[in-house]
Chain A
Amino acid sequence: MDWKETEYAGWGRALRAKGTVARPDTRRALGALEPAPAFGMRRSYGDAALNSHGRAVDMSGLDRLIAFDPDTAELHAEAGARIGDIASAFAPRGWLPAVMPGTGFATLGGCIGQDVHGKNHHHMGSFGQHVTEITLLQKTREITVTPGSALFKATLGGLGQTGTILRAKIRLIPCKGDVMVVTERRAPDWDSHLALLDASTASYTVGWIDATATGDSLGRGIIEEGESAAGIVKPRKGARKVPFNAPHFALAAPVVRAFNWAYYHRVPAHGRSLVRPLQDFFFPLDKIHDWNKLYGQRGFHQFQCVVPLEQADTLREMLVEIAASGLASPLAVLKRMGPGRAGYLSFPMEGYTLAIDFPNRPAARALIQRLEARAAAAGGRLYFAKDSLAQGAQIAAMYPELPDWQTEVAKADPAGALETDMTRRLKLRSAT
């Protein structure tokens, strides 16, 4: 059977779709299907992967690695290949994807469609800057896209609207081995947190932020810096699973405050260095399968914005509001980004990015919308991989190259066969 009636959701599980989904396992099986939007492991939080009342193609079965050339460091793979699998296979041989997002379950196609970034964005830029070739399927025609073309820019971060991503070549970077030397330091407040991020010279840098801390402790957190290394550490055990939806009080304010206090204080005041398996550093949450169930049946939203460097105070004001709301979860990340981006709709800009999860409740939705307005006013941007609540008009103002993208998409998919819940909600293809 090619198509299956099913209900499916984005990673946040707050937005869902009922529709028909196909899951081809070969190029030939894919070719037999009518054009429909494609998705990978559905790790985008909102509705980027959803097509309500329509068709969608699950690409996770098309995940073969095709070839690797050590001279050019180019890896050729099918779109469904997972970044974490690539890292596991290649790190012992001294290679890593140049950019890796926060989950190893993200697929090559997904990383292209969202032009994702990683903990090394300040040095290496976005995922798309290391893509050297993409093969798209437009209706029945295969098209090869290379950097420099308008179609390439429309495909990177292009939410799959320029055609189904079949295969791609990415450049890997050398690494010393499959372990990471990680340095963790406390940042007792907002100013020191930013100062540590600004001063960091490490290859990989990210800040965990305690979004429940207030007053003098506002903005406190832990700066993690990492470098790849050779060595032997105990490999991580098999991932745990979350067997059922957690009750709503599992992430109630006092629980989160207590957790965050403990998480902050587990790092000694003078900091510490440790050696960790690569996967633990890059994909810490993958240790728990289905961790999204911790937010219960109703799911959750992630708010992520980036604001220009000089607008750091906007993030501080956001944190004041978030901390006062008592709605934040332990998952909150602060990072300094460089300017690197590859596509018309790529998220990154030079500045600071803040990402925080909130349970899906009316108060949290209202809070997120206020945060979005603040980001917009500061000349910042929201991230399509995370968004589930933004307004179309807001987005159009944040992405000045939207018309360029629309021109290419109109040529690539004139019938609108690849539209998703997200492109319809944000009127991405029609906004002016």
Chain B
Amino acid sequence: MNSSWIILGATSGIARAVIRKLAAQGHGMFLAGRNMAELEAIAADCRLRGARMAEVMAFDARDHSNYGDLIARLRDEEGELNCAVFTGSMPEQEAIDTDPSMIEGVLADSLTGPATFLTMLAPLMEERGCGAIAGVGSVAGDRGRLGNYVYGAAKSGFATYLSGLRNRLGRSGVHVMTIKPGPVDTPMTYGMELPLMTTPDAVADDILNGLHRKTNVLYTRKIWRLVMGIIRVIPEPIFKKMSI
């Protein structure tokens, strides 16, 4: 059966690693994002590495006006549809503190944009009764922290949305996986000193394994499940005095 992957935020560092592996497996690829020239280059790369087909789609998390057209295109594509979401933006918390209007953009990139798209895509996937959705949250969404709590709030909201979507789509045979990566060595984090860093390639392997096993919530690296488990149980009176 034909199988296709829609990738939202296809130019992100993690997305590129995942896309490459999916292309090598022969899937059809719909690469969605804002930088069309860059998307075209990735699409050409996909075709040469074994993708059944690769198309680009203009997708802006902050502008939902063309989502209907995108869904219409996907309706025409036969077979199993899958969707992976890598959109998100992480401005410095201090920048947001000076200019609170940035909050809307952060929420759109990580939450309202992809959630709007997925909500429009969901009926199509329910109809076909197969496929998977993988959405990238973050360990930062597990607890609000001094350093990035707006970003954390957006990711936490998206994780809650995915949890509900899983509850809904599981009934029609569509699997929804929430991915919670710790720091990953991508262009976004290049040069930063971050703990328990991993590579996009390792995260991509974890994601494909997780999809294969139908994992619900995937922490990558795995150690983050433990770390965040501990951070989550710190009582609020103590946590509010900490800066981690």
Contact B45 A25 (CB under 8 A): no
Q: Which residues of chain B are near A262, meaning CB under 8 Å?
A: none
Binds A, one of B133-141, B152-160, B187-195: B187-195
Binds A, one of B36-44, B76-84, B110-118, B235-243: B36-44
Partner of B42, one of A2, A29, A64, A75: A64
Q: Which residues of chain B are near A23, meaning CB under 8 Å?
A: 187, 190
Complex Cα gap A61–B38 (Å): 13
Q: How far is the CB of B48 from chain A (nearest CB, A)?
A: 4
Contact B13 A25 (CB under 8 A): yes
B-side binding surface: helix, strand, loop or mixed?
Answer: helix
A-side binding surface: helix, strand, loop or mixed?
Answer: mixed
Contact B191 A89 (CB under 8 A): no
Partner of A66, one of B16, B24, B38, B41: B41
Please tell me if B50 contacts chain A, counting CB pairs below 8 Å: yes
**Chain B residue at minimal CB-CB distance from A85:** B49
Contact B24 A88 (CB under 8 A): yes
Known: A1-B192, A26-B38, A89-B50. A66 touches B44 (CB 8 A): yes
Contact A65 B48 (CB under 8 A): yes
Determine the interface band of chain A, counting residues with CB < 8 A from chain B.
Answer: 20 to 34
**Chain A residue at minimal CB-CB distance from B46:** A65
Which residues of chain A in 26-69 are interfacial with respect to chain B, using CB atoms and an 8 Å cutoff?
A: 26, 29, 61, 64-68
Known: A89-B24, A89-B49. A64 touches B41 (CB 8 A): yes
Q: How far is the CB of B150 from chain A (nearest CB, A)?
A: 21
Known: A26-B38, A88-B24, A89-B24. A65 touches B49 (CB 8 A): yes
Interface residues of B (CB under 8 A from A): 13, 16, 24, 38, 41-42, 44-45, 48-50, 187, 190-192
Closest 4 CB pairs of A and B: A1-B191, A65-B48, A4-B191, A64-B45
Known interface pairs A25-B16, A85-B49, A89-B24; 10 further A-B residue pairs with C-beta atoms within 8 A, sorted by A's residue number: A1-B190, A1-B191, A2-B190, A2-B191, A4-B190, A23-B190, A25-B187, A65-B48, A65-B49, A67-B44
Interface residues of A (CB under 8 A from B): 1-4, 23-26, 29, 61, 64-68, 75, 85, 88-89, 92
